[in-house]
Amino acid sequence: MEIFIASTLLVAVAEIGDKTMLLAILLATRFKKPMPIIAGIFAATMANHALAAWAGSALASIFMSETFRIAVAIGFIAMAAWTLIPDKVDDDMKVASQRGAFVATTIAFFLVEMGDKTQVATIALGAQYHAVLVVAAGTTLGMMIANVPAVYLGEKLVEKVSLRIVHRIAASMFLFLGLWQLWELSNPA
């Protein structure tokens, strides 16, 4: 349960103001069909994050050395710094709108999430916990917690929430995870 909650909270906070959240707002204003958009976000995120958690777990199994664990911890600390840099949706992002809201959302979210902070965080969580399904479920729930309100409330949500504060909270969480892992490495049980 701890892994699920940690994965959910970390991604939910990190996702606020992220480019995929901005994409959710854009898709909502374009299609005006919340349910297919939400279903597309869920499908894309579950597939993307399941692969990411599996990749992290597989890499950690291959590289079970202390050096790899230090690299994961440093990765969390780097994610803290990266989280402080605001995202913008790429100007050249073309949505396949001819195929409907669900397909357009699924494709767009899957592609935009590639190499995104939350995907990298999911890889790191998979490497740290080796619980692919729990991490993928938690990070997917975190994405839904952040993006469903964005679909329904759109631009009004962005006006009310201080993204600077949210980014600082997310950065603090990543920093804490990285430092905690380094501390665990220096103080073996």
Helix axes 2-15, 163-186, angle to 10 degrees: 140
Residue 166 token pair: 């949210």
| Amino acid (one-letter) located at 109 | F
> pLDDT tens, 44-53?
999 999 999 9
Predicted local distance difference test score (pLDDT) of residue 95: 43
Q: How far apart are CA 71 and CA 149, in angstroms?
A: 34
On the question of pLDDT at 72 being above 90, the answer is: no
Predicted local distance difference test score (pLDDT) of residue 93: 43
Picking from 11-25, 33-47, 68-82, which range would have the lowest pLDDT averaged per residue? 68-82
Q: How far apart are CA 27 and CA 31, in angstroms?
A: 6
On the question of pLDDT at 165 being above 60, the answer is: yes
Q: How far apart are CA 43 and CA 189, in angstroms?
A: 40
Q: How far apart are CA 76 and CA 141, in angstroms?
A: 20
On the question of pLDDT at 35 being above 80, the answer is: yes
> pLDDT tens, 104-151?
899 888 888 887 888 888 999 999 899 999 999 999 999 999 999 989
Sign of the Cα torsion 133, 134, 139, 144 reads positive
* Token pair 């631009």: residue: 155
Return the ∠ at Cα 121 (arms to 31 and 60), rounded to 5°.
135
pTM here is 0.72
